[in-house]
Amino acid sequence: MAARGSNKPSASRGAASKRRSGRRSARAEPRPLISLRPEHQRDLFALALITIAAVTIIFFVTGVAGGAGALYVEGVRRAFGNGAIVVPVTLGLLGIGILIQEQFRDTRLSGATFAGTLLIILAMLALLEFPAHARALELRGYEGGGWFGFWAVEGLDRAIGRPAAVLVTTVLGLAGVLLSFNITLRELLLGSALRFAAFWALLWSGTRRSPRAATRPALADADLPFTPPPQGADDEIVPTPIAARPTRASLFQRPDVAPPATTPPPARPAATATGIAAPAAPEPPAAPPATPAPAVPAASTPREIVQEALAGFDVAPVYRAWPLPGLDLLEHSSADGRMGDSEIRRLSRTIEDTLASFKVEAQVVNVNPGPAVTQFEVQPAVGVKVSKITTLEKDLALALAASSIRIEAPIPGKSAVGIEIPNSSISVVGLREVVDSEEFESSRGRLKLPLGKDISGNPVVADMTRMPHLLVAGATGSGKSVAINAFICGLLLRHTPDELKLILVDPKMVELTVYNRIPHLLAPVVTELERVVPTLKWATREMERRYKIFARHGVRNLDSYKQLARKRSDLEPMPYILIVIDELADLMMLAPDEAETYICRLAQMARATGIHLIIATQRPSVDVITGLIKANFPSRIAFAVTSQVDSRVILDGPGAEMLLGRGDMLYMAADSAKLVRIQGTYVSDREVERLVEFWHRASPPDSPAPARAPAPAQPGGSLGLNGPPFSGTLPGPRPAEAATPAQGQPPASGSAASATPPDEQFKPPAEFLGAAEQDELLPQAIDLVRQHQRASASLLQRRLRIGYSKAAQLIDLLEQQGIVGPAEGGRSREVLNPGHALPGATPADE
């Protein structure tokens, strides 16, 4: 036992000595005498190429080479033939390109660079050799491609023949270019095409204007109140109405609108092209047309009958030639907060040194400078776990002196880990930058949203029809409202009121009310929460109505219906409808069950009918963003939040708590599991006012937009709780008024109700009280509250067997007549006059 016990200390000492010897051997690992950074290797290689090229050119031009130089020149001439002078030029250009090209910075030289250079030289010599190869070898002298070119062509000729040899040589030269400059074939071709197009445009036009800005019409005929007065006649903004879409013109054989140079437009740009106005309108526009149009016949077709039935509503003429706003309404963003080259190199070395200090061997292989953050792509060595890098997040932030960093491990599609470091200042991504970009123009989306720019500085564009609904969440001041304004402005730049209709809900009363004057609105901006649920219910009924029309005509979605409408003139036009709710939390507190029901039903079914939702909230909790809402909103945007719990509610994972704010966001697309970090698009109040003013001036005088502010709820009023939710816009006239033409309108040739099926008309929702229902239900409601000495909507619902909306309307009527008191939170209302007799006149009579 004693001997066994004495062996334990010796064994522990032996193990300790082994560990110490292991540490000493680790410390004693040999290191190279000269350790060059990647940029030093690149510079030295480029200088060597330039020096060899310069010396060779001097020898060829001057003829003064000395003994060694003469041998060198003779060897070069015999080896390269006529390509002897091209070889130094190629080497010099290659060296200069390596020095000035940004993509070669911080990249280590590899065998691919040398192989690419050799392929370029060999291909060039072979191409020079092909014309002279027919001569005998002893007669060639210094012609052709020299010895290298001769044996290359000789081997290819014997193997595959002359035509194939020329093709293979050309491909080898192209491959050498790709290897030497570390670029892809697509990048090479695209860059060449863009440079050629820019050169061609500069050669023929003398100016470099944006094609989109050049084709867009100007704002209006007079200077706006928020712009400085014009300096001269040339500076005045003149309206340029555009012709209607070809599909619409083909339906009615309408001539094209004359260009503005020959016919000066009137004061309102939308009234310059007459188009086909509603037949039931009292008077056609007084402004003279740009070109003479055929006279409009009397209402006889089904299309005109439907238009006559809708003449009293706030629906713009569906075949009007609307002007589109130009990009001159938007401002250029000048601030650029991207990191400089020296800062990028310093941070790359710091990342590598910090990881090496924790015995994590990794190398920075690429850098993506963005508007808000810079992503460093770190490639770990073989055998290094990714978790070793992710666990060092705080240590890296300490070494980099960064407020916070985000690690994406790994980057999808790459064998690298992304370390995102905030820039010293955030660049402003203006709306004009995104809308005027090639990505936005080439996108085939029907409702394109300008999201912003990613971490590489590339514009990001999303299609609302593919989302098909969007959930936006983030803390206060993180940039949600600015992003929503940018989305709306991006749509207003591309879509006329005939193509897109908006329903805006703004409980804050300050974010979206500025859009009250645009003709795209189906109704004034909804600012009272009591009207939001009826609005959503109307949208649900409109969705069902569209599905019935689709089923009748055998189409599946709105796109198929529009294709059919191009061939048939009797089909009802259907624009896209976008519903924007700026704050979901207040709505969920007021009516959580009804709001969730209608929102989920629209999100599940409304995509095919062209109805889409954008919902924003600053309280991303589980009682606001419920599981049903999340399941039906696969496309989500998360701005900066305060905790990881909120980030998991929005994105089902962490990440949003590390964002910087001021538009920094994470975008989850419906068709991709990858989170994309984007710096959101910024639009200023001045730009929003310009767009609103443009569309307000473009609105025709005979079709006023719903520009008045919402009025308080009144019995029987257009915006009251017992009237339609909108000012005669979404629902149509009451059934008693449907067959009676409006005052001042000529009678139609047939009844709209008889000519058009009932489900194709805009009908008033059934949850709103008419005059007859008030006469019937109001006395019963008064008797009930007298009997129970309390008043509540739930009581009237149960006893009268009516819905919540009608019960709430009856409660408001009782309060206005002084029978019940005001609301007191969640308690029942007090009955003020239990013995109150019925008034002599009903509210409808009043």
pLDDT digits (tens, 9 = 90+) for 500-533: 999 999 988 888 999 998 999 998 999 888 889 9
Mean pLDDT for the stretch of residues 40-57:
85
Choice among 133-142, 435-444, 553-562, 818-827 with the minimum mean pLDDT: 133-142
Q: Which two tokens stand for residue 101?
A: 């090209």
What pLDDT does 728 receive?
Answer: 37
Q: State the CB neighbour count (10 A cutoff) for residue 622.
A: 12
What pLDDT does 159 receive?
Answer: 82
Q: How many Å apart are CA 345 and CA 340, to the nearest integer?
A: 9
Mean pLDDT for the stretch of residues 295-324:
47
Percent of the chain with pLDDT over 70: 66
Per-residue burial over 442-456, b if 16 or more Cβ lie within 10 Å, else e, is: ebeebbbbbbbbbbe
Q: How many Å apart are CA 388 and CA 224, to the nearest integer?
A: 59
Q: Which residues are within 8 A (CB) of 224 and not within 5 positions of it... i.e. 6 or more apart?
A: 690, 693
Residue 563 has pLDDT above 60, yes or no: yes
DSSP conformation class of 831? B
Mean pLDDT for the stretch of residues 574-581:
95
Q: Which residues are within 8 A (CB) of 306 and not within 5 positions of it... i.e. 6 or more apart?
A: 572, 752, 755, 756, 760, 761
Sheet with strand 362-369: strands edge to edge? 362-369, 373-380, 417-422, 406-408
Residue-averaged pLDDT of the chain: 73
CA 13 to chain centre: 66
- Per residue in 760-777, pLDDT (tens digit) is 333 334 444 556 666 678
- Per residue in 317-353, pLDDT (tens digit) is 344 678 889 888 998 876 666 778 888 999 999 999 9
Determine the CATH number of domain 341-363+379-422: 3.30.980.40
Q: State the CB neighbour count (10 A cutoff) for residue 37.
A: 14
Instruction: Tell the burial category of 470 from Cβ atoms under 10 Å away from its Cβ (0-12, 13-18, 19+).
Output: buried
Q: How many Å apart are CA 578 and CA 538, to the nearest integer?
A: 13
What pLDDT does 451 receive?
Answer: 94
Residue 489 has pLDDT above 90, yes or no: yes
Give the start-end residues of each E strand in 582-694: 611-617, 635-638, 664-668, 675-680
Strands 611-617 and 576-581: parallel
Report DSSP letters for 784-814, one per residue. Answer: HHHHHT-B-HHHHHHHHT--HHHHHHHHHHH
Q: What share of the chain is helix, strand, coil (3-state, %, to 5)?
A: 45, 10, 45
What pLDDT does 525 receive?
Answer: 92
Q: Where in the chain is the domain with CATH 3.30.980.40?
A: 341-363+379-422
Determine the CATH number of domain 467-541+576-698: 3.40.50.300
The strand pairing partners of 615, in sequence order, are 471, 581
What pLDDT does 804 receive?
Answer: 78
Q: How many Å apart are CA 157 and CA 169, to the nearest integer?
A: 11
Q: Which residues are within 8 A (CB) of 676 and not within 5 positions of it... i.e. 6 or more apart?
A: 454, 460, 666, 667, 668, 669
Q: How many Å apart are CA 53 and CA 76, to the nearest integer?
A: 12
Q: From residue 814, give the alpha-carbon distance in Å to each of 738, 770, 833, 835.
A: 29, 16, 10, 13
Q: What is the pTM of this model?
A: 0.52
**Alpha-helical segments (H) within 363-517:** 386-390, 393-400, 431-435, 438-442, 480-494
Residue 783 has pLDDT above 80, yes or no: yes
Residue 3 has pLDDT above 60, yes or no: no
Q: How many Å apart are CA 664 and CA 482, to the nearest integer?
A: 12
What pLDDT does 769 receive?
Answer: 53
- Per residue in 202-223, pLDDT (tens digit) is 666 544 444 444 444 333 333 3
Residue 720 has pLDDT above 90, yes or no: no
Q: Where in the chain is the domain with CATH 3.40.50.300?
A: 467-541+576-698
